[in-house]
Chain A
Amino acid sequence: MKSLFSLACIALFLAAPPSPALAGGDGMALLKSECSACHNLTGPAPTTLAELWARKGPDLFYAGNKYRPEWLEQWLQNPRRIRPAGMFYGNHIKPGPEHDLIDKSTLKPHPRLGPADARAVTAALMTLKAKSELIRPGEYKPGRISIAMGDLMFDKFRGCLACHEIEPGYGGLSGPEVYTVARRLQADYLISYMRNPQAWDPRIFMPNKHLKERDLQKFVHYFRALSEEDAP
């Protein structure tokens, strides 16, 4: 009986004409209809705390300067959490017995796209290139650093581990995980963002740690090494 019912459901679903939004092809139209409720596609970034708290998803109006397209296309088909405590962590925590805890019930799974839509949306996102003046193309010069040295810099010397996980389940929870960041984001963006997070996002709660240019490069080497280690 139950399986008859689900068969009927599947039949109905298959019979229903695909909604124009899901037909694929026009990525920009999809972005506007399916994504703009949570993502800002035009800018500017929040300049008040009220706006920062109300932001539902990361700003996408400079997506073409931020993401690696290969990653985008994959993630949109198979999204998994990047920020353990959501967008504004203050909206997703509760007091716990020893310390505050993430309130998982407030975090929702991300919408998922089919392959054709993911490709179309990725192409559209890569055309959104606000804030190009903050990017110096080719600024990152590939190099290597041992994970042990990178850990030391990220943890002991600079205190970044307080807010970022360097492997699943280890590190801080208010910022995005960094063990996947080199796979997700462009190297020149990483340098620019670490140099001055507020230039991208004026009220963001990542501090400007006034890193030396040399260290900016080393952190990207480190993220690349972490991503290789974490590679699926």
Chain B
Amino acid sequence: MNRQLLWAGMMVLAAWASATPGLVQAAERAEDLYKTYCWQCHGMQGDGNGINVRDMPVQPRDHTDPREMAARSDEELFTAIKKGGQAINKSVLMPPWDGVLSDEEIHALVRYLRRLCQCRHGG
């Protein structure tokens, strides 16, 4: 009886875990996240030249450009990644990632972007 209860509890937990991506999954390393989700547009070098750019009317941001990237605060970068380009009045082509990335992972990506540009907000 107890075992059955335990089993049922585990099934519920498993169902919950699979229904709430990002919340229960262990956080992944920022460079692995960048490779999985961002390379497709921002490119293997992070310079905005991914495999998808051929027919894109707006060039993805060059994340290695210290001048462009220094113009943004960490909060703005966080919002752009979580809610998409439109949340900071930029192109809809920059997607929102809140459906798959946890806040912790997005913070890690912001720190990773600062390593790519070797820059901070304002210089």
Residues of chain A touching chain B, judged by Cβ–Cβ distance below 8 Å, are 44, 47-49, 52-53, 85, 88-90, 93, 95, 98-102, 156-159, 161-163, 170-174, 196-199, 202-205, 207-210
Contact = CB atoms under 8 A, between A and B. Distances in A.
A207 B52 contact: no
B100 A173 contact: no
B66 interface: no
A89 B51 contact: yes
A85 B41 CA distance: 13
Contacts of B97: 207
A162 B93 contact: yes
Contacts of B75: none
A15 to B, nearest CB: 47
B54 A49 contact: no
B91 interface: yes
Contact of B54 (A99, A156, A204): A99
Given A159-B93, A203-B21, A174 B99 contact: no
Interface of B: 18-19, 21, 25-26, 28, 32-33, 35-37, 39-41, 43-45, 49-56, 84, 91-100
B36 A205 contact: yes
B52 A174 contact: yes
6 contacts: A95-B44, A99-B51, A100-B51, A159-B95, A172-B52, A208-B98
A48 B49 CA distance: 26
Contact of A198 (B21, B49, B95): B21
B32 A49 contact: yes
Contacts of A44: 18
A52 B36 contact: yes
A217 B40 CA distance: 27
Chain B binding surface, main DSSP class: loop
A173 B41 CA distance: 10
Contact of B18 (A49, A157, A202, A209): A202
Given A163-B40, A173-B51, A209-B96, 15 more contacts: A47-B25, A49-B36, A85-B51, A93-B51, A159-B95, A174-B50, A174-B52, A197-B99, A199-B19, A202-B25, A202-B100, A205-B40, A205-B100, A207-B96, A207-B100
B51 A208 contact: no
B70 to A, nearest CB: 24
A98 B92 contact: no
A161 B37 contact: no
A99 B96 contact: no
A15 B103 CA distance: 62
A126 to B, nearest CB: 23
B64 to A, nearest CB: 13
A163 to B, nearest CB: 6
A150 B31 CA distance: 35
A162 B92 CA distance: 10
Contacts of B95: 159, 162, 207, 209
B21 A95 contact: no
A174 B52 CA distance: 7
Given A93-B44, A100-B51, A170-B55, A205 B37 contact: yes
